[in-house]
Amino acid sequence: MSGPTIEFWQSHFDAGRTPWDRGEANRRLVGWLADGELVPCRIAVPGCGSGHEVVRLAQAGFDVTALDYAPAAVARTRANLAAAGAAATVVEADVLAWSPAAPFDAIYEQTCLCALHPDHWVAYARRLCAWLRPGGRMFALFMQVARPGAASGLVEGPPYHCDINAMRALLDASAWTWPKPPYERVPHPMGLAEIAAVIARR
C-alpha cells in the first residue's frame, strides 16, 4: 500500500510530534456552527486526530462518529471527550475499509485526505460519497501545501497538496455540487493554509 502507515501516524503521536494539532477546534468549524450553516445531525469525522472538532460537535448536540486508525488518536479523542463531559462514537478503523451501518447527514473532512497518498484518493472519495445520504453535505478543509518539490511530484510524505482544481475533479460534478469560488483560506498551525468548502452530495 502506498504512503503513510498506521505505524507512521502512531509514531508521531507517541513522540508528541503533531504539528497539525491546533489544540482546539478549527475556527472555521466554530463559525459554521455559530452561523447555523451546520446544525445538529448525524456526522462523521474521518482522521479525527486528537478530536478537538469531535468534542466541539458533540458539545453542540451532534450525533458524532469519529474515525482514526492510529490507536493513540482514538485514545486522545476519547480522553478529550471524557474531559469535556461529551459523548461520541470513536472507531479505530481505516477510512479506506470502513463503512457505516447507515448513511450520514454530514461529514467533517479536515485534513484526512491530505494524510492519504494520492493513490488512494479515488477510493477515499468513493467512500465519502457512499457514507453520505443524497443531499448530505461535506464540510471540507483542503490542505494547501506550498513547498519545494511539491509541484514536480517529488514530495514523499504527507501532507499531500490538495489543489482545489484537483479536488473539483476528484469530487466531481456527477456526484457533488460545489459552491462558486472564491473559497475561504483558513490558517493552519504548520504555517500553511486550508481551503474551506461545503459541498453537497447529489
Ligand X SMILES: C[S@@+](CC[C@H](N)C(=O)[O-])C[C@H]1O[C@@H](n2cnc3c(N)ncnc32)[C@H](O)[C@@H]1O
Q: Where does this chain bind ligand X (CB under 6 A)?
A: 9, 20-21, 47-49, 67-70, 73, 94-96, 110-112, 115-116
Q: Give the whole-angstrom CA distance, residue 62 versus residue 70.
A: 23
The least distance separating ligand X from the CB of residue 107, rounded to whole angstroms, comes to: 12
Whose Cβ is closer to ligand X: residue 55's or residue 70's?
Answer: 70
Whose Cβ is closer to ligand X: residue 7's or residue 134's?
Answer: 7
Whose Cβ is closer to ligand X: residue 10's or residue 163's?
Answer: 10
Cβ pair 96, 67 in contact under 8 A: no
| Bond before 182 cis per omega within 30 degrees | yes
Q: Which residues, 6 or more positions from 152, have their beta carbon under 8 angstroms from its beta carbon?
A: none
The least distance separating ligand X from the CB of residue 14, rounded to whole angstroms, comes to: 12
The least distance separating ligand X from the CB of residue 10, rounded to whole angstroms, comes to: 7
CA proximity to 138, closest of 181, 167, 101 = 167
Cβ pair 128, 116 in contact under 8 A: no
Whose Cβ is closer to ligand X: residue 47's or residue 136's?
Answer: 47
